[in-house]
Amino acid sequence: MIKFDKDVLRTLKTLEKEGFETYAAGECVRGQIMGEKVYDWDLLTKAPLADLQRIFPDCQLLDEGKQSIRLDFTYEVPAKDEDEPVVIDGCIVDVRNFEGTIEETLKEMVFTVNAIADNPERTLVDPYGGRDDIRARLIRTVESCEEVFEKEPIHMLEAVRIAAELDFDLHKSIFEAIGNHWRVLLAQTDSGDVASVREEFENLLISDHAGKGLKMLTGTGLMAVILGEDVAGRMSMSDTNAFKTVCDNIDKTRPVRTRRLGLVYTAITKKRALAAIERLQFDKKTEEHLKDGVERIIDINFLNTDMEFKKFLFKYGNERYNYLNNLSKAMRIVYDQPSLKIESRNYMMKKIISGNEPVFVEDLVIDANDIMEAGITDSAEKAAELLEQVAALVHKNPANNHRDVLLKYAKKYSKNKLAAKTRYVKWVK
């Protein structure tokens, strides 16, 4: 028997009193067996959706086709100090109707470590040896893994992801079966069916043992599914060594999704990394960050002056710079690099913030209307272009952020294209 959260137990007993057989099942039971604190619970019940909504009128309907509801028992824990963040405690309970026997339903959970159910008023149900596999720290399938992977190839990647989350090993049968079937998942991904692959890979990377998971992906052949066969199969010696270093040390970094993705892709030659990024069809913002990481991570290490630093911020913005800076910090940990460059950038950023120094167009004392009213141009588009050009003056010296100075140079740049192009050049007399 496992230890139940009081709200989960009350929900389960309520359903049992109504005459509906009910069990906690899946990852929540696995977590309790392993001694973890569980916040997300899943209950399987014989109660149909109409009865669930009647018994729990304040529930949230999850998926009518799956006959499931959600009960939210979370609450805020008051902070002891006003400066401390608010902490959320409690649990979320998803309740789903099941048909047939509990043993048949548990078979649908694919892996033995998840195919366990419990009800303190009935019994713990473990028909496939899940507790033994938890003790042995093994990932094994309920049914023949060959059949499982043929039917649903994504379960191969799921097996590695669970192993990375739990620090478990793959059963020999699973390792061999993945070796026999990974090309099926590769073909699906090559055709553009990447959403589930991307989700499993991202969850693997933010797990506690991401390095182990990456090594499993490489050892089983699944890394070709993630990166593409051309990329994974043709890595140079330099790429291979860098990737191995990432595998060995990625767990030392904070489990931030885009940051750890950046660590993987920056270990690969730029051309191949860009192709691998496009392969998984990330959302626009993530793709921008990852491509920045591959193309510009070296650039930020050469921002040696205030002007170069402000120019970079102006061109790419704070959000993109912050991603690169944080990726650089993670790379310092992974590759055991000195921190001097990072400290220098942090100093320059602190100086900008503390001195309220102008960097962006919005920080200038003039705007495009001022340029047009001064008769320099009657084109709003040209005025905006000139406004971006005169920003170079405040990057060189914050004291240049004066109306007369900026308008003077806006007029100069409008007439002299060479002056505009060389505005960041420091001429030597």
CA distance 210 to 214: 6
Helices marked H in 252-402: 257-265, 270-279, 284-296, 306-335, 340-354, 368-373, 380-396
How far lies 423's CA from each of 37, 280, 308, 361, 393, in Å? 59, 40, 12, 16, 8
Of the pLDDT bands very low, low, confident and very high (cuts 50, 70, 90), residue 84 is low
pTM of the predicted model, to two decimals? 0.90
CATH number reported for the structural domain that contains residue 35 in this entry: 3.30.460.10
85 and 14 together in one domain: yes
Give the tens place of pLDDT for each residue, 280-310.
Answer: 999 999 999 999 999 999 999 999 999 999 9
Residue 371 is part of which domain span? 361-422
Give the tens place of pLDDT for each residue, 336-376.
Answer: 999 999 999 999 999 999 999 999 999 999 999 999 999 99
Mean pLDDT over 167-187 rounds to 95
Q: What angle do CA 173, 143, 126 make, to 5 degrees?
A: 110
83 and 9 together in one domain: yes
Give the tens place of pLDDT for each residue, 45-72.
Answer: 999 999 999 999 999 998 766 789 999 9
With respect to residue 70, please indicate whether it lies within any of the assigned structural domains.
Answer: yes
Give the tens place of pLDDT for each residue, 221-255.
Answer: 999 999 999 999 888 899 999 999 999 999 999 99
Query: Of 74, 101, 129, which one is at a domain's C-terminal end?
Result: 129
**How far out from the chain centre does Cα 62 lie?**
24
With respect to residue 248, please indicate whether it lies within any of the assigned structural domains.
Answer: no
Is residue 78 within 8 Å of residue 99, measured between CB atoms? no
Query: Pick the residue with more confidence: 126 or 75?
Result: 126
Mean pLDDT over 262-277 rounds to 96
Q: Are strands 68-72 and 92-97 parallel, antiparallel or unpaired?
A: antiparallel
CA diameter of the chain = 92
373 and 395 together in one domain: yes
With respect to residue 246, please indicate whether it lies within any of the assigned structural domains.
Answer: no
Share of the chain above pLDDT 70, in %: 97
Share of the chain above pLDDT 90, in %: 88
CA distance 92 to 101: 25
Give the tens place of pLDDT for each residue, 12-52.
Answer: 999 999 999 999 999 999 999 999 999 999 999 999 999 99
With respect to residue 176, please indicate whether it lies within any of the assigned structural domains.
Answer: yes
17 and 93 together in one domain: yes
With respect to residue 239, please indicate whether it lies within any of the assigned structural domains.
Answer: no
107 and 226 together in one domain: no
Smallest Cα–Cα separation from 114: which of 47, 168, 152? 168
The answer for residues whose C-beta is within 8 angstroms of residue 404's C-beta and 6 or more apart is none
Is residue 48 within 8 Å of residue 67, measured between CB atoms? yes
Mean pLDDT over 263-274 rounds to 96
Q: What is the mean pLDDT of the chain?
A: 93
Query: Of 206, 234, 262, which one is at a domain's C-terminal end?
Result: 234
The per-residue pLDDT for 2 is 81
3-state secondary structure at position 45 = strand
22 and 99 together in one domain: yes
Is residue 3 within 8 Å of residue 32, measured between CB atoms? yes
With respect to residue 240, please indicate whether it lies within any of the assigned structural domains.
Answer: no
16 and 114 together in one domain: yes
CATH number reported for the structural domain that contains residue 151 in this entry: 1.10.110.30
351 and 367 together in one domain: no
212 and 190 together in one domain: yes
Place of tokens 């630093």: 309
How far lies 121's CA from each of 24, 295, 416, in Å? 12, 59, 86
Q: Decide if pLDDT at 318 tops 70.
A: yes
The per-residue pLDDT for 216 is 96
Query: Of 129, 162, 187, which one is at a domain's C-terminal end?
Result: 129
Q: How many CB atoms lie within 10 A of CB 250?
A: 24
With respect to residue 427, please indicate whether it lies within any of the assigned structural domains.
Answer: no
Domain count, the chain: 4
Q: Decide if pLDDT at 80 tops 70.
A: no
298 and 384 together in one domain: no
Helices marked H in 93-171: 102-107, 130-136, 145-151, 154-166
CA distance 391 to 310: 10
With respect to residue 62, please indicate whether it lies within any of the assigned structural domains.
Answer: yes
319 and 198 together in one domain: no
98 and 198 together in one domain: no
